[in-house]
Every structure is written in C-alpha cells, then in structure tokens.
Structure 1
Amino acid sequence: MLAIIWHSRTGASMALAEAAALGAQGYGKLIQAEVAGAEDLLAAAGYLFVCPENLGTMSGMMKEMFDRCYYPLLGRVEGRAYATIIATGSDGHGAQAQVDRIVTGWRLRRVAEPLIVNTAAQTPEAILAPKVLLPDVLRKAEEMGEALATGLEQGIF
C-alpha cells in the first residue's frame, strides 16, 4: 500500500493528493497528516508526502506528523520508497529540503523527482484564497501516484 500523507490549507495539496490516489488505482491510501500515526506508516510499503510550502517551509501540520512519527519509526522503515509533491506560491524548495532531511534519518529512498506545483500566489488575498489547479497539473500528480503504486506492486521499489 502507498500511504499518501497530506496536509492542505487552501485546497491545492488536497487536490494533488486526491489526484495521486486516483492514479494509484486503489493501491494508495489517503491519510491526513493530522491523523497519520506510526502504525499507518508502518503498514505502508511506500510514501507520498503532499503538503504546501508556508513561509519557506513545509506546513506545520506536516512537520507535526513527522515529529509524532519520527522516533517510533526510526530503524523500522529503512529502504522504503518515497516521493513528494509540494504546493507553493513561489519556490517550494525549502519545504522539499525539509522533507528530504527528515526522511534521511528514516533511510527512505527517493524514487521519483519532486513535483513542485507553483500557484504563483503572491498577495495575501491570493495566498489565502481557495486554489483550483489546472487539469494538466493534476494529471502530473495522478501519474506520480500511478507510477509509485505500480512500482510498489511490482516490487521495483
């Protein structure tokens, strides 16, 4: 099972996570970051972390999930596959670097290039507004979910 751990404030990351789950065709399980626990991650063969970048970092709720699960999983998930999707208004690389640094401690293995979705939201109003993503962007998330699920099911990852 591919655990799709996600957090969203304005809908972009939620839409991306849902698209990835659609692509995973029943092999992916959507789990909100605020309720994800160590047992959820232990039950998964691989992970897709989907979150917004807020003020140059991953969202606080995603960070809190890592804080809760980090030590219970330490030494128990080495070698498992992971990938990331970051929704951002400008860059996304700060959040991406944080996730990569944390999962290095778990010894996870990146199996897909990061998908960074830039909404170009730069004003307070645009940043806080609900997001609607274009179909081609959602298709990229769907393709990532499909590729991860297929790789896990076939034992490639």
Structure 2
Amino acid sequence: MVISTFPEDSTDTATDNQRGATLLIVWHSRTGAARQMAEAARQGAMDIFEELEVGPQTRCILSQAAETTPDQMLQASAYLFCCPENLASMSGAMKEFFDTCYYPVLDRIAGLPYALMVSAGTDGAGAVRQMQRICTGWRLREVAEPLLIRSGAQTPEAILAPKRVQETDLDACRTMGATLAALIA
C-alpha cells in the first residue's frame, strides 16, 4: 500500500523543480505496532507541513516495504524507515526492501537525511544496527536518534499477538515525522 498524503493529486511525472520535497516513510509490520508508528509519523509530518504552510509539491508518502521502489527512493528528499525487530534482526520484508533498492540507488542518494523507528519486544538494537549499516553504505545522514518502542512481549503468544502502541509512544513517532518534515519543508 502506497499512500501519497500531500497532495492527493500529485503525479510521478513532475520535474524535480515541480516535485518539491518528499518525505518517504518505508514501513513493515507483523503485529500492527510498526504500522501504527509509521502512521503517527506521517501525521506528525503532515501537521508540520500544515503549520509551515508548505506548497502542494511538498508531500509525505507512506509506503509498505514490499511495494517501495528504487524510483520512489530517488524521488524522496528524506527517509524514515520503520519496522519490527524479529529474532534480533530487522523483519524479513524490510530486509527484502533494502536488498531490492540498495544497488539501484547507491551513490544517488548520498547525503540525504534519514531516521529509524523500530518496534520490539524488549530490545530492538539488532534491527537498528542492521539498518544503520545499510544507511551508512548509502551515505545517508542520520538526523535523529533511532526511536525504539518496546512492548515488553517475551512469550510466543505475546510476541505474535496484535499490538496497540501507547499514546505517549505515538507522540514520539509524531515528533520523529515532524522533525524530518521540518528539515525538508
């Protein structure tokens, strides 16, 4: 699912000058937590765009990892990567996204800002390290500390159960989206 949130009638055929700035939020979720986090970040970005009264060419795109293309990466001005940690690693779908997009955009997105958000049971550091290494290879510029949202799940049942992210954590996700949006607005 790719959701272009601002403006609704944007086209992919715009020239760079017409395109404006784009925040691309790439996410994957198994139990709903990372999706809630990505959606909250999108809301934070949209709030900043509205507050700053940016033009209609400035937008935020929320894109599932499995559907994100190298072309979307090349059109973006900043990135937010959001996924769960599974077995001390980023989720497989997020890894597939990085595998698919890595070489087509290598040396073409260097210097652009990015941030990370990870949903985890009790850790999350493994997924953060993996994504940071990939972003270092792309020579992206980390502009915020990674945001780890921990559910405390430790049993198989709790780990696999649908999650509901606490409002205070969603506020932190909104702040992350707002931070990236303010950088490109």
Q: TM-score, normalised by structure 2?
A: 0.81
Question: Which of residues 2, 10, 13 is equivalent to 2:34?
Answer: 13
Q: Percent identity?
A: 52
CA distance in 2, matches of 1:88, 1:16: 12
The answer to whether 1:33 aligns with 2:33 is: no
CA distance in 2, matches of 1:5, 1:15: 13
Post-superposition Cα deviations, 1:33-64, rounded to whole Å, max 9, x if no partner, equal: 00001001111001000000000000000000
Residue 24 of structure 1: how far off its partner (Å) = 0.6
Q: Is the 8 A contact 1:33 1:65 kept in 2?
A: yes
Residue 152 of structure 1: how far off its partner (Å) = 1.3
CA distance in 2, matches of 1:93, 1:23: 24
Moved >2 Å (runs of 4+): none
Residue 103 of structure 1: how far off its partner (Å) = 1.1
The alignment partner of 1:78 has SS state of: coil
Q: TM-score, normalised by structure 1?
A: 0.96
CA distance in 2, matches of 1:63, 1:133: 23
The 5-angstrom pairing of residues 123-138 of structure 1 reads 123-138=155-170
Tell me the equivalent position of 1:57: 89
Give the number of equivalent residue pairs.
Answer: 153
The 5-angstrom pairing of residues 96-107 of structure 1 reads 96-107=128-139
Q: Structure 1 unaligned runs (5+)?
A: none
Residue 90 of structure 1: how far off its partner (Å) = 1.1
Q: Structure 2 unaligned runs (5+)?
A: 1-21, 50-58
The 5-angstrom pairing of residues 16-95 of structure 1 reads 16-25=37-46, 27-95=59-127
- After superposition, the CA RMSD in angstroms is 0.7
The alignment partner of 1:34 has SS state of: helix
Residue 124 of structure 1: how far off its partner (Å) = 0.6
- 1:79 partner amino acid: G
Tell me the equivalent position of 1:149: 181
User: Which sits farther off after the overlay, 144-153 or 1-10?
Assistant: 144-153
Structure of higher CA gyration radius: 2
Question: Which of residues 120, 142, 150 is equivalent to 2:152?
Answer: 120
CA distance in 2, matches of 1:105, 1:137: 29
Post-superposition Cα deviations, 1:54-77, rounded to whole Å, max 9, x if no partner, equal: 000000000000000000001100
Residue 88 of structure 1: how far off its partner (Å) = 0.2
